Structure 1
Amino acid sequence: MSLENNKIFASVLTAGILLMASGFAAKSLYHPKDLEENAFKIEVSDSGVEVASAGAEEPSIEPISALLATADVAAGESGFKKCASCHTIESGGSNKVGPALWDIVGRGRAAVDGFSYSDALQGMSSEAWDYEALNEFLAKPKDYAPGTKMGFAGLKKVEDRANLIAYMRMQSDSPAALPQ
């Protein structure tokens, strides 16, 4: 080995010894004390979700029934383009990533033959998709049916949901009656 290689090896070895010595020095100077209880208490419910403060209420979804009478079906058709990548809505349409949505209003949940629903929606199969259920689901699918396979984030504006539901209502041989 050349003298240059010896210098490099000695430098690396010296740096390692200095690092190790500084670690020993730090341990001898600093002695942490274990706390008897946590300094910051975080209340957690049994489900592992943080408990909200007593004064705060979870925001509720605005009812959609009153908006359906004046909803814009054409705007709903335009809004359905977001859904069309995963769903079909025409009569006799096949399932895609999501189930076919023809005649969805009033139909049972998890009721499309040949589609593999998540456990969350299969647990609701005895119920029908009424206007308010569709409204809540479209607002935030993962909150409405935790564990759903639907990756859509939801529609924030109640008007957008009303337009979309009005459009989906019309995609039926006999559209469901509007709520009073």
Structure 2
Amino acid sequence: MKDDRNTAFGWILFSGIIALGAMSVSSHFFHADDNELSEGAKPGYFIEAAEEEGGADSGPPLANLLAAGSASAGEGIFAKCTSCHSIAQGGPNGIGPNLYGVMGKPIGKHVAGFAYSSALSGHGGEWTFENMDAWLKSPRAFANGTKMSFAGLSKAEDRANVILYMLENGGGPPLPAPVAEDAGDEEGAAAEGEDVDGAGEGPGAVEGADAGEAESAGAMGADQPVASANAAGEN
């Protein structure tokens, strides 16, 4: 029995030596311990992450969303808030304060005696349209440490409609004027068009031909803008 055990242990030891030797040879052959790639070798793949755009805002400006929005649509969205807030004049406070007339009021202070979180009461500023939009988008991002657990409204149109509904209940500052989004592009295109059309440049002289009456008349008006229009008509 002892001979059988010794034989078995011997084979196990021998197998371990063979395996260790094979690993050493393969490691040397395939450069497993070499962290540098051999000359001309290429890595299997790279994972390329898309570059984030530097904080560019997408979508229409808030002023335009407010101009095109609807307080009645905001009322339907505000139904998500009624478990914590009332908005009727003189309505009770719930988990959150009554929101009647909140627009334009100091942040975290518009209802006297309500226990606002220090994150909100110490925020500073007023409930402007921009501040309310940021708050509705992400309360925690706007006032880190707020007691409000609502995740926020991701759609800018929904936030604008809720703001209009709040404005309808208690008033607030006047709506901002809509922004002409493409005004700058149109002006740039107009300026570029003037350069391309060559406005203000007179007709050039024609070599090898005497100027006729029509050409002379055109040349006399070379400094006037109308000359380029006449030239375009003749072409």
Q: What TM-score range do you get, normalising by the shorter chain? A: 0.5 to 0.7
Structure 1: gaps spanning 5 or more residues = 1-52
Letter in 2 for 1:177: P
* Greater relative CO (CA pairs within 8 A, separation 6+): 1
State the alpha-carbon separation in 2 of the partners of residues 61 and 100 from structure 1.
Answer: 32
* SS of residue paired to 1:69: helix
1:176 paired to 2:156: no
* SS of residue paired to 1:137: helix
Letter in 1 for 2:62: I
Partner of residue 11, structure 1: none
Q: Which has the larger radius of gyration?
A: 2
Partner of residue 26, structure 1: none
Shift of 1:165: 0.4
Shift of 1:94: 1.7
State the alpha-carbon separation in 2 of the partners of residues 149 and 65 from structure 1.
Answer: 29
State the alpha-carbon separation in 2 of the partners of residues 70 and 132 from structure 1.
Answer: 16
Partner of residue 159, structure 1: 157
Q: Is the 8 A contact 1:61 1:136 kept in 2?
A: no
Q: Aligned pairs, how many?
A: 125
Partner of residue 41, structure 1: none
Q: Is the 8 A contact 1:65 1:132 kept in 2?
A: no
**What TM-score comes out, normalization by structure 1 length?**
0.64
Letter in 2 for 1:123: G
CA RMSD of aligned residues (A): 1.9
Q: Is the 8 A contact 1:108 1:127 kept in 2?
A: yes
Q: Deviations over 1:142-168 (max 9, x none)?
A: 111110000000000000001110011
Cα distance 1:59–1:146, how it changes in 2: closer, same or farther (>3 A)? Answer: farther
- 1:85-96 superposed matches below 5 A: 85-96=83-94
Please identify runs of 4+ aligned residues in structure 1 that moved more than 3 A.
55-63
Shift of 1:176: 2.6
Shift of 1:75: 0.7
Structure 2: gaps spanning 5 or more residues = 1-48, 178-235
Moved more, 61-70 or 138-147: 61-70
